[in-house]
Structure 1
Amino acid sequence: MMNLMHWRLVVAVADHGNITRAAERIGMTQSGASQALALMEETLGVQLFSRESRQTLPTAIGLPVIEQARLMLGALETIRQTVDSVRPMLRGTIRLASFPMVLASFLPPLLRQFNRLYPGIEVVALEVSDDEVETLLAAGLVDVGVVLNPAPERNAGPLGRDAWVAVVPAGHPLALRGTEQGVSLQELSALPFVLATGGCSTNARSLAVAAGLQLQDVRVEVREWSSAFTLVRENLGVTLVPEMTLPADRQGLRVIALAPRIERVFSLVLPAGQTPSPAVQALLDLLADTAHATTR
């Protein structure tokens, strides 16, 4: 039975033209190398080398066999180099901080694919608010975090996006408005309002402030988006929510586009000044590859 040592022997004999020197090169005894070579020729049913007094030279059939052996051993070395180059990223832990909605929507498909590609890397996901993500990143307590609308200089990896939409009671005057017309943030800010935060600092109030406006009549403030929809159904006011939070059952509600459109962009961001570990870089590379495949 032939193994890699036998093929290394064949190449070594061809290189040195001498069984003794070839045996020394691959760490075999001269007698062991002679027996191994004879066994290979018997197994193949051909003579690979002609033995002369001082040289061992390839036969006509031996030449192509030796060439294929070189290719095989070269391919094996390439495989080993490939494995060695990625070995640091085959094991490790990634600490990832994100707010709940992204953990439940954008991240699962990415993390499932990452786990399939890198089963030895554990991703520990921390569910926190958007402000807490920034705090953890600033303290270097996580390796990567999901950040809303990051500044360009943060070299973020885009994860996904959605738009803010208004939700009003089905019987509200705005509910009669056409979808294409939409409603402005200025109009909404003057109405009785149900403020939903989702545990994030970016919400209807912060959007209004950024636009130079103020929510004039906040009737109630809630953390959970589902609570806001219940209160809107009860005609307590209107609300402004991310599109991805909309319930499947919208009975009693009317969703209206915000005009002009305001988007939320979610991105994976590293702590400032930190070089990503091989494991984190593998995650960022997968994210970039996924985004590229989606846009093609």
Structure 2
Amino acid sequence: MMNLSHWRLLAAVADLRNISRAAQQVGLSQSGASQAIAQIEASLGAPLFVRERREVLLTALGEQVLQHARGMLAELDAIRALGDAALGLHAGRIRLATFPSVLATVLPGLVSAFRRRHPGIDVVALEGSDEEVEAWLAEDTIELGVVLNPAPQRQAVIIGRDAWIALLPAQHPLGRRSSEQGVSWSDLADQPFVLATGGCNVHAHSLATQTGVTLNDIRVTVRDLASAAVLVREGLGVSVIPESALPSDQRGLRVMQLQPTTYREFGLVCSKAGRDSAAVQAFLREL
């Protein structure tokens, strides 16, 4: 069954000529976007796109369907604008702070989808360490903050969960094991190590310490998770990063399950100002 998210995706693909970038814009995974397009085409009984080597183009039917879809979306936006005005949501600002890895991966799709539905509300994204985010929440400097592994009493809206994985150079001896067998913290303890913090206190060093293991040979520490993958590829050491931070190009890398499997969860927490903001509450409802 076709719904509004299908039509928003159709318009985004037509504009960007790329399914992956369109999926990110509307807050879908690439596989979810491909399935949605296949559903639309199956419902209509004809292709809407032609997949060229470097881009995705509309067919003649796709052009006609897009014209109607844009009109429908414009009418919906006009109706929502009336509702926003009645609720006091026709204008406003949300200051949302997060640590770097979430700012780069999870938030863009969520924020862009909200901005399309509520164009009068400006969402300002701020980057900081997890300690800075907590301080800004306490000081009411921001309305929303992304918190790692939030305690239940904080009533966070969970927006993501992923596993920590081990990243090795492609020819590393530990990489000869099966991915399912994985590697343990003890296996990594004496390896040359690239420590990536992601701007958070929860990272490979703290996780290893919790299991009673010390990383004995930390060669370099970086804030950016993507930088860790580059350094591992260059053979400077092994690393442990969140699965969502894996680079799309994994040439020269060996990705291994970390045993025991450990997850991180991140959610949006309101400051006092955020709890009193109609715009913030609308943002959280839509999530």
Normalising by the smaller structure, the TM-score range is: 0.5 to 0.7
Which residue type is aligned with residue 227 of structure 1?
A: S
Match in the other structure for 1:251: 251
Match in the other structure for 2:201: 201
Which residue type is aligned with residue 259 of structure 1?
A: Q
Q: Secondary structure at the match of 1:282?
A: helix
Match in the other structure for 2:279: 279
Deviation digits for residues 201-236 of structure 1 (CA, Å, limit 9, x no counterpart): 221011112223221111222222333223323332
Q: Secondary structure at the match of 2:259?
A: coil
Q: Secondary structure at the match of 2:123?
A: strand
Match in the other structure for 2:59: none
Match in the other structure for 2:217: 217
Identical positions, percent: 54
Which residue type is aligned with residue 252 of structure 1?
A: G
Q: Secondary structure at the match of 1:126?
A: strand
How many pairs align?
A: 207
Matched, 1:141 2:116: no
Match in the other structure for 1:113: 113
Aligned-partner Cα distance in 1 for 2:210–2:272: 25
Q: Secondary structure at the match of 1:244?
A: helix
Give unmatched runs, 5+ long, in structure 2: 1-78
Aligned-partner Cα distance in 2 for 1:165–1:83: 45
Match in the other structure for 2:36: none
Aligned-partner Cα distance in 2 for 1:131–1:160: 19
Superposition pairs of residues 66-215 of structure 1, within 5 angstroms = 83=83, 86-215=86-215
Note the C-alpha offset of 1:83.
4.5
Aligned-partner Cα distance in 2 for 1:261–1:84: 44
Q: Secondary structure at the match of 2:187?
A: helix
Deviation digits for residues 240-293 of structure 1 (CA, Å, limit 9, x no counterpart): 011121122222210101122111111000126963311110011011xxxxxx
Aligned-partner Cα distance in 1 for 2:195–2:186: 15
Q: Is the 8 A contact 2:143 2:273 kept in 1?
A: no
Deviation digits for residues 146-169 of structure 1 (CA, Å, limit 9, x no counterpart): 111100110000111211110111
Match in the other structure for 1:59: none
Q: Is the 8 A contact 2:93 2:279 kept in 1?
A: yes
Q: Is the 8 A contact 2:205 2:215 kept in 1?
A: yes
Match in the other structure for 2:269: 269
Note the C-alpha offset of 1:136.
0.6
Deviation digits for residues 66-103 of structure 1 (CA, Å, limit 9, x no counterpart): xxxxxxxxxxxxx9xx9499422332111110122212
Aligned-partner Cα distance in 1 for 2:208–2:118: 43
Note the C-alpha offset of 1:195.
1.0
Q: Is the 8 A contact 2:101 2:225 kept in 1?
A: no
Task: Tell me the TM-score normalised to structure 2 length.
Answer: 0.67
Aligned-partner Cα distance in 2 for 1:113–1:230: 31
Spell out structure 1 runs of 4+ moving beyond 4 A.
Answer: 82-86
Which residue type is aligned with residue 114 of structure 1?
A: F
Q: Is the 8 A contact 2:143 2:271 kept in 1?
A: yes
Aligned-partner Cα distance in 1 for 2:143–2:122: 12
For the structure 1 residues 83 and 140, does the alpha-carbon distance in structure 2 shift closer, same or farther, using more than 3 Å as the test? same
Note the C-alpha offset of 1:176.
0.5
RMSD: 2.1
For the structure 1 residues 257 and 171, does the alpha-carbon distance in structure 2 shift closer, same or farther, using more than 3 Å as the test? same
Task: Tell me the TM-score normalised to structure 1 length.
Answer: 0.65
Superposition pairs of residues 54-65 of structure 1, within 5 angstroms = none
Match in the other structure for 1:67: none
Which residue type is aligned with residue 231 of structure 1?
A: L
Q: Secondary structure at the match of 2:88?
A: helix
Matched, 1:230 2:230: yes
Note the C-alpha offset of 1:126.
0.8
